[in-house]
């Protein structure tokens, strides 16, 4: 079953984020605080949304996403920040069910696309995404501004 997360799910969502970070070998970079996550997902100005996959009442995985906008298409889009299914629940269709639910939301909301990034070494994820019809955007290079560089530019 796929359902939207609620404020009562914050601990599960935070746990899934940490499990994803551990899988991606990035756990040391997680500084997430549950109170901030609650505010960012369910506060007065939500920045993102979460869909949860459940397996016999237990959380099996999640998709965290938010809206972006294509000026060329003149339409909103959805950016999938994280998609993760717990190892013991893989191979049961939860990842695909989360992507299907996200695609349905995108269509219902008049979005022109769903986008995401995947680590270059994550071959299982790459095969999974290509199997559902996604294609890599090889002509683009992602950039990120964080930390001191962000603070300096923004001051």
DSSP label of 89? G
How many Å apart are CA 122 and CA 80, to the nearest integer? 16
Distance CA 155, CA 153 (A): 6
DSSP letter at 4 equals E
Residue among 23, 79, 94, 129 flagged as catalytic: 129
DSSP three-state, residue 66:
strand
How many CB atoms are located within 10 Å of the residue 134 CB? 15
- Is 23 a catalytic site residue? no
Closest CA to 58 of 7, 4, 9: 9
Which residues form the catalytic set? Answer: 129
């Amino acid at each position: 079953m796929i359902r939207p997360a609620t404020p009562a799910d914050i601990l599960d969502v935070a746990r899934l984020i940490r499990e994803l970070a551990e899988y991606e070998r990035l756990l040391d970079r997680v500084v997430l605080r549950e109170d901030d996550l609650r505010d960012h997902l369910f506060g007065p100005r939500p920045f993102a949304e979460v869909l949860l996959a459940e397996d016999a009442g237990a959380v099996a995985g999640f998709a965290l996403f938010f809206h972006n906008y294509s000026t060329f298409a003149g339409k909103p889009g959805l950016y999938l920040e994280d998609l993760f299914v717990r190892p013991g629940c893989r191979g049961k269709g939860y990842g695909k069910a989360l992507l299907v639910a996200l695609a349905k939301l995108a269509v219902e909301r008049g979005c022109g696309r769903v986008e995401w990034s995947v680590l270059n070494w994550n071959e299982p994820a790459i095969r999974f995404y290509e199997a559902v019809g996604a294609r890599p955007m090889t002509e683009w290079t992602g950039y990120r501004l964080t930390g001191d560089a962000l603070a300096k530019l923004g001051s």
